[in-house]
Amino acid sequence: MILFRATIPFPADVDLSRVFFWTLITVTTAAFPVKLPGGVVAHITTAPIIAAVFDSQLANPFAVCWIALLGTTELRDVRGEVAWYGTLYNRFAYVLAAFAAWLVFNFVQPALRADIAFSTVALIVLVGLAFSVTNMFLAVAAASLRTNSPMARIWALSVSNTLFGTIALVFLGWLMAEVATKVGLWASVLFMVPLLLARYSFTKYAETRAMFLGTVSALSQAIDAKDGFTRGHADRVSRIAGAIAREMGLSERNIEEIELAGMLHDIGKIGVEDQILMKPARLDPHEQELMRRHPIYGASILKPSESLRPLVPLVLHHHENFDGSGYPEGRKGDDIPLGSRIIIVADAYEAMTSDRIYRKAIGHERAMDQLNRYKGIQFDPKVVRALGTLIEKHGAAAFEVSELPQINYETLAELRKRLAREPLARDAHAG
Ligand SMILES: [Fe+2]
């Protein structure tokens, strides 16, 4: 409707070549999308669209609406990699955002005095906000519906970390319009260089994050592989702990920390001798003593890494009991980090509900009974209650929402058995 209203009747003073120029610049920038974690695709098209809003020689809102509609078409739309309704949704999300930006521009500009620098900055900020908030809200809502995860999570994963980049794009857009009207259209083409640089930093963020999560997941598989009984255990603990943390209303940043610590909570088992770790019988008191050092080993493994350091207290205290009877420090109640209190519950629940070589899983209800029996003793009652609510609300599917890569590898023990049956080819020549 907005597009229709902006086009009919056809505005009298349209310089179509100018509209075409900005569309061309926008299309060029749209050719470099960045897929952010969380499923939102980021664009540097913000800059030329904002430029079109500020370009006084364009017949707006006709121009911005059409530039936003045509200019944001991407290769994946043309190739048919996006469903038709997805393409339509994305195009009109941009038209709406561009129109919102123009509306704000049109209302605010007459009220401001152009000779005061501050008012120009305020105008840019307001126009940028109108565009970004509309556009991001529509993108996050779509990603949230598509991936069936909460909007707050998508926001934290994709938008919050690129906010500064977006602000830079808005100012760059205003500058492009200034240069285009005062120097000439050709000069604004020069802005492609900083635009592509901005895009590079977006990509780096996404890549670095993927690499970090990949490394954490590889580390976690190393423990699962060594600790033959617990295939995929750490991964499940991480998902359960993350879901409990979300249910308890923690911030996305804390939730992610708890998920990562859940993934790595038993990393210290690398330091425990194989005979103890893989012993099929009950451990004697001395062996138990050695086994109980694994949280300390874990903390010392994580400490040297700057990005893993926040997880150190969570890993160190994941065997502290609520009544102070746990290890390594015998901490009590609220002195135990909340993340550790969550991980110990997730750890116990996962162990009870998954099959092990030596026993079958017990059901969710019996597992919850056990947790309830030991709440206040081993477990924080608040955490057990949160897990109970979570299971009541969503069933076991409550644990499937996570950004962490899925792990489904055979354990080292299984690999050893398999390779023992099928000798490696080079063994045949070994003599
Ligand atoms: Fe442990």
**pLDDT tens profile 260-282:** 999 999 999 888 888 888 777 88
Distance of CA 336 from the midpoint of ligand 1 (Å): 15
Distance of CA 319 from the midpoint of ligand 1 (Å): 6
Distance of CA 412 from the midpoint of ligand 1 (Å): 19
- CA dihedral in degrees (398, 342, 359, 281; nearest 10)? 160
Distance of CA 251 from the midpoint of ligand 1 (Å): 25
Of the pLDDT bands very low, low, confident and very high (cuts 50, 70, 90), residue 430 is very low
Distance of CA 277 from the midpoint of ligand 1 (Å): 11
Residue predicted with more confidence, 378 or 115 = 378
Digit-coded pLDDT (tens) for 363-403? 778 888 999 999 999 999 999 999 999 888 877 666 755 55
Residue 319 has pLDDT above 90, yes or no: yes
Residue predicted with more confidence, 123 or 359 = 123
Q: How far is CA 319 from CA 18, 27, 235, 266, 363, in A?
A: 67, 55, 18, 10, 23
Distance of CA 332 from the midpoint of ligand 1 (Å): 18
Distance of CA 5 from the midpoint of ligand 1 (Å): 64
Quote the CA–CA distance of 41 and 299 in Å, as a whole number: 36
Q: Give the per-residue pLDDT at 345.
A: 96
Distance of CA 170 from the midpoint of ligand 1 (Å): 48
Give the lowest-confidence range in 130-134, 225-229, 288-292: 225-229
Q: Give the per-residue pLDDT at 423.
A: 60
Distance of CA 382 from the midpoint of ligand 1 (Å): 21
Distance of CA 234 from the midpoint of ligand 1 (Å): 10
Residues 116-143, mean pLDDT to the nearest whole number: 87
Residues 197-211, mean pLDDT to the nearest whole number: 78
Distance of CA 253 from the midpoint of ligand 1 (Å): 23
Distance of CA 262 from the midpoint of ligand 1 (Å): 10
Which residues does 331 contact at the CB level (< 8 Å), separation at least 6? 317, 320, 324
Give the lowest-confidence range in 59-63, 121-125, 354-358, 395-399: 354-358
Give the lowest-confidence range in 101-110, 210-219, 317-326: 210-219
Distance of CA 360 from the midpoint of ligand 1 (Å): 20
Q: Give the per-residue pLDDT at 39.
A: 66
CB 72 within 8 A of CB 135: no
Digit-coded pLDDT (tens) for 335-371? 999 999 999 999 999 888 876 555 566 677 888 899 9
Quote the CA–CA distance of 303 and 117 in Å, as a whole number: 48
Q: Give the per-residue pLDDT at 431.
A: 43
Q: Give the per-residue pLDDT at 18.
A: 86
Share of the chain above pLDDT 70, in %: 88
Distance of CA 266 from the midpoint of ligand 1 (Å): 5
